[in-house]
A and B are shown apart, each in its own frame.
Chain A
Amino acid sequence: MDALPPELQTTILYRLPARDVVRTSILSRPWRRRWESVPDLDIDLTDLHSWATATTFLSRCAAPIRRLRLHGVPPHLAVCVDSWLRLAAGKSPRVLSAPPVGFAGLRALATLSLEKVFFRARNAWRQVEEMLAAAPGLVELTLRDIIFHVAGDGGLPGRWVIGGQSLRRVELCLEIAGAGFWEVGSVPKLECAHVVLNDSPEHRDYFKLFTALSGVKELNVGNFNGRTYQVRVFLCLSALNQTSRIIRISGVT
């Protein structure tokens, strides 16, 4: 292994999860800094026992990063998340699965996954919109169980638009109560959509939603709380989805 040219060592190492790559630093002196030149790392920082050393790691690892997953950060370290993501965003990640930040460096992002994220910032749905706009190469988008903080009593998050010129696959599982009045905008290349609907129809213009999704080849519509009036969904679907080859509907009440 030590006899191989450095570029071959890199070719071997970049297939490993980032944790394994970092752990090679302990093998012997020639290996101490080898991991720092391995690009395309697949980084999973989930429920770490030593979050503080994530900063050292993210500042030293090579660019670009293939994927960064950052989950389970304890509340007292929430302030660090911003600096970690800025470090990562500076390394042109292709996949980001974490709360968002500011956004230069996301031009190469191909996959974005936001799950169970609570946004504290004011009008944070605008942040998410800006993030999507900053990532024109985004191909795959998952937005699931997002909650935007709204000051005052009983207010709902505002209107915002989910879209992207390169998007080919979206998975949306968002409640109006948490994520506000989201809509689907321009998605000219969309091929596959999974949408979970769970709001009463007086709040949601299904006709508009399915018009926006009418170009997809595969459409999966689910309903997890049984609160959607399926008949209306059916009517909209049958009126619009002439192009879809596969339509699956689950959770019918």
Chain B
Amino acid sequence: MEVDKGKGEAEETRKVAEADRDTVTLKSSDGKLFEVSKEAAARLSTVLAGMIAGGSIDDNGTDLKQIGSEALENVVDYCNKHANSIPSAALISSSISFNTAPFKEPEEWERKFVDRLSHDALFDLVEAANFLGMERLLDVTCHKISEMMKGKSPDQIREVFNIKNDYTKEELEEIRQELAWAFYDD
């Protein structure tokens, strides 16, 4: 019927307008534009939540001058994946647990998400997450970096993180003596 068709079109228009309002556009330091769900951005980033609430979001792309396009793409990707993920059994379980650690373990998809990143991309993402106040993403990225250090010898860590050993032999010996309990196995 005529009326129904008109109603359907109005519905379509409304949906488009709504979809429009449901995202925010972010602009990287090198001028690339990225769209991200407004709900996920507000939930995962305290800084973006503040900008959305304060009306300082620019429809033509909100400038994030501190964040390069690769890092911003990863941020947006993370937000979208997060919006689609189902809470793991551990999170919804009612079993009594007493975790004294100040951070939560990453979930499987979060591990995969950071595992595929290059070194530089990972460190850029840490800084982007920090800048945007994304506590969970910061947790996940920092966890990954700490995993890369866990149980490694000083030489292995220097190699992975490109740290130059500028100690003299005497200085190294002095530090080993001072805190010998931590260096016994070397």
How many cross-chain pairs have Cβ atoms below 8 Å apart between A and B?
116
Known contacts A1-B163, A26-B175; A12 and B101 CB within 8 A of each other: no
Please name the residue on chain B nearest to A45 by beta carbon.
B181
B138 at the interface (CB under 8 A from A): yes
Among A27-35, A71-79, A203-211, the stretch that binds chain B is A27-35
Number of residues in A with C-beta < 8 Å to the partner? 52
Contact indicator B103/A19 (Cβ below 8 Å): no
Contact indicator A26/B183 (Cβ below 8 Å): yes
Please name the residue on chain A nearest to B98 by beta carbon.
A140
Q: Which B residues are in CB contact (< 8 Å) with A8?
A: 126-127, 130, 142
B60 at the interface (CB under 8 A from A): no
Contact indicator B181/A28 (Cβ below 8 Å): no
B43 at the interface (CB under 8 A from A): no
Whole-angstrom distance between the alpha carbons of A231 and B149 in the complex?
A: 54
Number of residues in B with C-beta < 8 Å to the partner? 40
Contact indicator A28/B179 (Cβ below 8 Å): no
A23 at the interface (CB under 8 A from B): yes
Whole-angstrom distance between the alpha carbons of A116 and B146 in the complex?
A: 33
Contact indicator A15/B143 (Cβ below 8 Å): yes
Contact indicator A17/B150 (Cβ below 8 Å): yes
Whole-angstrom distance between the alpha carbons of A42 and B180 in the complex?
A: 18
Whole-angstrom distance between the alpha carbons of A218 and B10 in the complex?
A: 57
A168 at the interface (CB under 8 A from B): yes
Whole-angstrom distance between the alpha carbons of A28 and B165 in the complex?
A: 5
Residues of A within 8 A of B (CB): 1-5, 8, 11-20, 22-29, 31-32, 40, 42, 45, 48-54, 56-57, 66-67, 94-95, 110-111, 139-140, 168-169, 191-192, 217-218
The 12 listed contacts between A and B (C-beta, < 8 Å) are: A1-B145, A1-B161, A1-B162, A2-B161, A4-B126, A12-B126, A13-B146, A14-B102, A15-B143, A16-B146, A111-B100, A168-B96
